[in-house]
Structure 1
């Protein structure tokens, strides 16, 4: 990530904090705008062009999105396109991130959106047909969103459904697991905590999960939520992912290291 993008993201998050109480409607509007920007390289290039002045960008946003955006979503989008980004793709990622943050902030207190995202991920991972339906490049985006709604209506919070509907419509080349993991990281960060994704060969007990959360919180100085992904192929041990950092202590990994050492 370039320095311009890092600064733009920091300023955009600050703008979100000053934008008032987030609403799910504003989040859905921003995510829809992200899909529109993602679908047009020309539009993306214009909105991220550092040589295009702010007035022209504002006029462009008004002409394309005017009636489709409420005041909160429009203000945040204008703030985003008014920043300097290292790449036009970074602007797209920025719009998506702020949209997800708005959605997360709109959820009632104690709504575990990140846990619901991981529950959906586990359901997809355990159903090859469902994973294909949501991941196939041949499927219509609207149909994929419909699958999410059909599966989760009445079972997950509207915030979770809105985020997942967006993700399956615009994966941007990402597979379903990293797609949802990245969204869960953003949701947790917006709530002031962090997600540790723990891959284990078998489910962890509540006591094991609690010890992990307490240990991570003590060592990192920040609240952690542990989300467990069960993968029998790792044989034993744990793989822990925190953002881009991965600590792999699985048996499968150690066996692979041993195999490579013996082959050298």
Structure 2
């Protein structure tokens, strides 16, 4: 059990990568607190994993994030998975769309890290252990530009910058912070984007065509890297943008 005894909180755990990550961490022995804005999705998740704790949480609500941090024991790991993919160029991104994506994709991770880091650092100092924060970024970021991913790519580039800054500030205290950068993953979010396209069949073909491996990633392609980054196996890895993109960035 690679995460035995570790307490790990995951945001956006109701579906997609977040859900798969919560289940993978439970299988590896972690005590998982799964959060999501959707209570129904959390109920479904809890039915699949005995002992998994769930909390309804909107990471855009700073007071709610702070209140949750005050009620939970100190964490060993935090996976900031919550995010939104806006479709469009800068000309399609008005200030409301910009503000929403920045608030969720960047400030959501900032709020969570700022609220939970003090407890993590205190626990590490007291026990001599280590801690890990993993932020969800993307290959669409400072790594590579993609059409119609203007504000998404901008926010994920910011997440990578934030990750490196946190890593630099706390490396000597034993805290690791890394960014996970997936390729195109077959999730409910992607399926919604495909369904909303003018030609869904062509949209799916286009998503697959940009993957050198010739297929979309599955959530099970992503979760092993997440487990590694949260485990002690990655004890000398910090400040990195870890690509799991099927070769897109080559």
Structure 1 length-normalised TM:
0.30
Q: Which structure would you say has the larger RCO, counting Cα contacts within 8 Å and 6 or more residues apart?
A: 2
Structure 2 length-normalised TM:
0.31
